[in-house]
């Protein structure tokens, strides 16, 4: 028997909880995730650097660089594109963050 609850979208947070641009760390089913807002778009990734398999932030909910445009690993400064999770600078250039599918509906960011 299949548990259909595993396939239902799950609300992670309200869009207005995040600045624009902004980020938020959340836990879902034992996974530490980061939610990134860029305008009217949201992206969700596993909160784990592909270089060292450690969380990306030192300060809670601060995943973006000073420009607010790139995700930054606080440990070694690697920079990632929010749209794809690709590392574009640092020791893991060419590696990717692990994405989680999401969408925005009714002012909420939903994990698919």
The per-residue pLDDT for 95 is 97
- Reply yes or no on whether the pLDDT at 7 is more than 70: no
- Reply yes or no on whether the pLDDT at 2 is more than 50: no
| Residue range 11-32: mean pLDDT, rounded | 95
| Residue range 56-67: mean pLDDT, rounded | 94
List, for residues 69-83, the tens digit of each pLDDT value. Answer: 999 999 989 999 999
Contact by Cβ (8 Å): 14, 107: yes
Contact by Cβ (8 Å): 92, 75: no
Which fold is adopted by the domain 17-111? Rieske Iron-sulfur Protein (2.102.10)
How many other C-beta atoms lie within 10 A of the C-beta of residue 85? 19
The per-residue pLDDT for 3 is 46
21 preceded by a cis bond (ω within 30 of 0)? yes
The per-residue pLDDT for 4 is 45
Q: Kindly state the tokens that stand for 102.
A: 């999401």
The per-residue pLDDT for 8 is 75
| Residue range 88-107: mean pLDDT, rounded | 96
Domain range list for the chain:
17-111
Residues 27, 16: Cα–Cα separation, whole Å: 18
């Amino acid at each position: 028997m299949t548990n259909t609850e595993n396939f239902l979208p799950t609300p992670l947070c309200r869009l207005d909880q995040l600045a624009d641009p902004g980020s938020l760390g959340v836990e879902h089913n034992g996974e530490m995730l980061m939610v990134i807002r860029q305008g009217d778009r949201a992206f969700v990734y596993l909160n784990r650097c592909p270089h060292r398999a450690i969380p990306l932030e030192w300060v809670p909910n601060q995943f973006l660089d000073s420009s607010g445009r790139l995700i930054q690993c606080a440990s070694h400064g690697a920079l990632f594109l929010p749209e794809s999770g690709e590392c574009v600078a640092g020791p893991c250039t060419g590696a990717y963050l692990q994405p989680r599918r999401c969408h925005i509906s009714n002012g909420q960011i939903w994990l698919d």
